[in-house]
Each structure stands twice: as structure tokens, then as C-alpha cells.
Amino acid sequence: MTTTFIAATTARNDAAAFLPQTEERLPFTIRVVKDEGALAKAVRIRQAAYGRHVPELAKTLGEPESYDREPGAVVLLAESKLDGEAVGTMRIQTNLRARLGVERSVLLPDWLQQQRLAEATRLGVSERKIGHVAKIALFKAYYQYCVETNVDWMITAARSPLDRGYEALMFQDVFPGQGFIPMLHIGNIAHRVMAFDVAAARTRWEQSGHRLFDYMIRTHHPDIDIRGYEFDRADQEVVALDERAVHIAA
């Protein structure tokens, strides 16, 4: 490992501060899917992961979904350096051009309206030990993506027991007391809708002594490369819900 100094990437999280960071290499790479071959690999690992827990839903996941090609969405793929096999994937959707998937099932509360949102969907990892490491790294890539694109809140709809992982990362319930809500757009499977304040992430993790603080904030992972997405600039406005047009790329 080597130590370097890298400027904090967001003005909202300690502008102009330079954080000492340890560089750490991972046994896999994480990159944005840019071609059909990479998307096919993401689809395969996605379907295999869902097949272990929700086999009926997995049967419908053998092909890319329209959401995968929606403007404002990116698919991340983790690939083993050893053999090039896919070990994890996640899709990230923003609300800058279209509604989030979760908004097809619930009306988000006022405190999330007119906010820049990004939703993590279709998380799937290998059942091998490397899959657990990839899951944490994919979450870091999700966080970095939100920082770089000036997202205000990270959103997820997680089924049990995956919700406990997000709870451990200090996500909060969007609908306190309601627990798991059937998601109409996911076959009526009950999910817990949760959110996390991107700007407060570093402070909350640091002040709580979170075990992942160093990993998330003070460790530089060159193998996580989120370049290549269609960058959503900070000067873009979040349009009203009824003005959004869902456009599926050809």
C-alpha cells in the first residue's frame, strides 16, 4: 500500500480539504458498462444472484431491461482480475431525466421532492467469498457516483435481509413505521424504502466511528473507475414529477 494525498471530491464535504489516503488494490475491477458484451455479463451475474433468493423474479431477468439503457442510468460491472468473470453488478438510476423505479410504486415524501436522487437497483454478486468484497466496493462506487454527479440523496428499496446491510451503512427509513411495502413494479415483492444523505456521509461515518469510514473516505481504490457515465451537471434542474418523460434508448 502507498499513501498519497487526494483532494476531497465534493465541496459539500469539507471543501478544499486534503485527505490522507491509502491506496489499495482490489482483486477485481469495477467499471461502467459501455458495450453489449459487458452488459450481457452484468445480466448473467444479476440473474444468477436473484436466482438464489427470488427464483421466480430471476426467470424474467435473462435479458437486459429497458431501465439499463434509460438516460440517467448506468450499470456497474465488477470483474475478477484473475479470470475476467463477473463477480458483481449494480444499476444506478437518477431522477434528473425520468422517475426512479421506486416512484412507480410509492409517492416519495415532501422532504425528497425536488431533490437530486439516485437509486441503487439490481444489486447482485457472486456467491463466492469475493462476492462479499465486491458488494462493499459496489456500494463505494455508488457513493462516489452520487458525489461526482451532485446527488442529494441515495435511495434504495431493499428486500429482507438485504435491508440490514443498508441499515448498517446508516440509511434511514423513508416511511418510518411502515416496514416493508409491496413494490408494484417488482412483482409485488415487499421492500423497505431507505435513503441516505450524501452530503452528510463523511461526517456521519466519522463521528459514529463507522467501521467502513476509512474504506469509504480515506482509502483510494484505483480499480473502482466510474468514468464513462453521461455526466449530469450541477446546473441542471430537477424537473417536476409530472413533467418527466421516460425515454428508453434504442
Degrees, nearest 5: CA angle 178-164-99: 60
Tens-level pLDDT at each residue, the chain (250 residues): 444 433 444 444 443 344 657 999 999 999 999 999 999 999 999 999 989 988 888 898 999 999 899 888 999 999 999 999 999 999 999 998 888 999 999 999 999 999 999 999 999 999 988 999 999 999 999 999 999 999 999 999 998 888 998 999 999 999 998 889 998 877 788 999 999 999 999 999 999 999 999 999 999 999 999 986 554 443 344 333 333 333 223 2
Return the domain boundaries, the chain.
25-228
Answer yes or no: pTM beyond 0.95: no
List, as one string, the DSSP characters of 120-143: EEEEEE-SSHHHHHHHHHHHHHHH
Which H or E element spans position 211? none
Pick the CATH number of 25-228 from 3.40.630.30, 3.40.980.10, 2.120.10.30, 3.40.50.300: 3.40.630.30
Nearest to 10, CA basis, from 142, 146, 140, 147? 147
